[in-house]
Structure 1
Amino acid sequence: MDITTVEEVVREPSNPPGPMWRPGDAWLAGGTWLFSDRQPGLRRLIDLVPLGWDSLIADEDGLEIGAMCTIADLYALNAPESWTAAPLLRTSCEAFLASFKVWNSATVGGNVCMSLPAGPMITLTVGLEATYRLWSARGSERTVAAADFVTGDHQNILGPGEVLRSIHIPAHALGKRQTHRRFTLTKMGRSTIFLVATQTQGGDDLSLVITAGTTHPVRLSYDTMPSADTLAQAVDAIGDDVWFDDPNGSPGHRRHLARYYAEQIRSELSAGGPA
């Protein structure tokens, strides 16, 4: 879609670009959402592509993902064998309601900052205990937990002019056992609900993250595996205002799916299911 309100595109931004920010600006990453809808308040685009924030660095500390890394590049990553949770990288990429053309343009950071309930890069990074490095318009930097970033449907903690620079997934999370459940109304449709769970190798703990069916990620963590009743009660305790309501599923339907899949996950990991 043409955005007729745009008066200027900055092709060579400063690095960091924050000081250039002014009201009416938008950071331009892959642009796959930005150009899909009207943007009546937009006057200027600041193109982040020339800054080269597209690296993927795998080392003993974990995985560092540049905010401008494309979905296609993340999907193609050849992860170390010791990263038993690495299959979640591809699983989350495959959860996109998008063609390969979008994969080649859409960025990991862009999907996170869109902060939509069904954003699969949010599911991935919260599920694997990631942290985000944020640069402010004033030049300061802060690191926040992925679980604390999204606050609601299309809402997050970014301040005016603040930008996501990179994402770090720690090695200890990538070395955990993992499993997931995802429901869609159609084979290639938007996620109605997406659950990711991890467990320490040889441990009895459980970390379960519920997304897509909620307006922000919900994490349920246990040092020892909970009983079926305890886990079901935790899902039921999620506030009514947190469950997302759209044509892909009612809040009641999504709560039911969360309970159903959470119990499947609990049973699977208790029985020594997928790595």
Structure 2
Amino acid sequence: MDLVEVRAWRRAADRSDLALLPGETVVAGGTWLFSEPQPGTTGLVDLTTLGWPSLTETEAGITVAATCTIAELARAPHPGLATLAAACADALLMSFKVQRAATVGGNLCLGLPAGAMTALCVALDGVAVVWQPDGGTRREPVASFVRGVGQTTLAPGEILRAVELPASALAQPTAVRQTSLAPHGRSASLVVGRTDSDTFVLTVTGATTRPVVLRLGGMLDLEPALAGIDCWFADPHGAADWRAAVTGVLAAEVLSVLVEGPVR
């Protein structure tokens, strides 16, 4: 879609270029930005020209740049990460064209209930690295970074720089289950699970207004944990009570897979 009010496009070369002028907003992949009118947006600042490495692997884990595309993440040299990234994108019906342009950071910053990268990053205990306008940097779990539908903890002038995925989470087996109201509709519920020492970690997205993390000792803990969720989401893709019911089924399937043995 044409953004008819845009009069300027700046290519960011360093951090100082991210001080936004009135009416400016940042852009990376632009798959959402250019999909609908953006009233009041008069300038765009391109993050992709900063040259951030898409993936940086160390002993501590993998740092995913906010400008890393979802397609790049699905081709990550780490097999577990690549498989999970592809599964999350496919579960949310993200076309290959969108995956080639859409970025991890952009997907997170939209705060969508059915956010593919939100599901992945929360499931892997991801930590958001945020650049502050005063030159500082802050970190917080992605699980709390996304606060609700279209809401994040980003303050005015803050930029999501990267997501840090710890090696401990990347090394664990994972399982994914998803369902939609229609055979090929948008995800009404997406459950991603992984093991963590002697516990199981289940992440619920799509069915809730924000990501929900359940840490369970076993199957007996599942029902009370689900009963404690108070942020079920409703829209044309599914009623809240139906989403709660199907999430229970998906969560039980994921937990069963993890209990039975490693799956990638």
Matching residue of 2:35: 36
Matching residue of 2:225: 234
3-state SS of 1:104 partner: helix
TM-score (norm. length: structure 1): 0.89
Q: Distance in 2 between matches of 1:99 and 1:259?
A: 27
The alpha-carbon distance between structure 1 residues 209 and 198, as it changes in their structure 2 partners (threshold 3 A), is same
Q: Cα distance, 1:233 vs. partner?
A: 2.1
Q: How many residues align?
A: 264
3-state SS of 2:252 partner: helix
Residue 271 (str. 1) matches residue 263 (str. 2): no
Which residue type is aligned with residue 7 of structure 1?
Answer: R
Q: Cα distance, 1:41 vs. partner?
A: 2.2
- Asked if the contact 2:115–2:206 (Cα under 8 Å) also holds between the matched residues in 1, the reply is yes
Q: Distance in 2 between matches of 1:96 and 1:260?
A: 18
- Asked if the contact 1:85–1:173 (Cα under 8 Å) also holds between the matched residues in 2, the reply is no
Q: Distance in 2 between matches of 1:188 and 1:60?
A: 40
Matching residue of 1:249: 238
Q: Distance in 2 between matches of 1:30 and 1:232?
A: 40
Matching residue of 1:50: 49
Name the stretch that deviates more: 4-13 or 255-264. 4-13
Matching residue of 2:249: 260
Match of 1:115 among 111, 116, 121: 111
Matching residue of 1:225: 218
* Cα deviation digits, residues 131-155 of structure 1 (max 9, x gap): 1110012211101111110000010
3-state SS of 2:101 partner: coil
Matching residue of 1:198: 194
Residue 8 (str. 1) matches residue 8 (str. 2): yes
Q: Distance in 1 between matches of 2:16 and 2:123?
A: 29
Alignment of 1:202-217 (within 5 A): 203-217=197-211
- Asked if the contact 1:17–1:137 (Cα under 8 Å) also holds between the matched residues in 2, the reply is no
Which residue type is aligned with residue 103 of structure 1?
Answer: Q
Name the stretch that deviates more: 41-50 or 7-16. 7-16
- Asked if the contact 2:174–2:194 (Cα under 8 Å) also holds between the matched residues in 1, the reply is yes
- Asked if the contact 1:5–1:41 (Cα under 8 Å) also holds between the matched residues in 2, the reply is yes
Match of 2:145 among 146, 149, 153: 149
The alpha-carbon distance between structure 1 residues 246 and 213, as it changes in their structure 2 partners (threshold 3 A), is same
RMSD value over aligned CA atoms?
Answer: 1.8
- Structure 1 runs not aligned, ≥5 long: none
Matching residue of 2:60: 61
Which residue type is aligned with residue 207 of structure 2?
Answer: G
Q: Cα distance, 1:204 vs. partner?
A: 3.2
Q: Distance in 2 between matches of 1:111 and 1:255?
A: 24
Matching residue of 1:178: 174
- Asked if the contact 2:129–2:161 (Cα under 8 Å) also holds between the matched residues in 1, the reply is yes
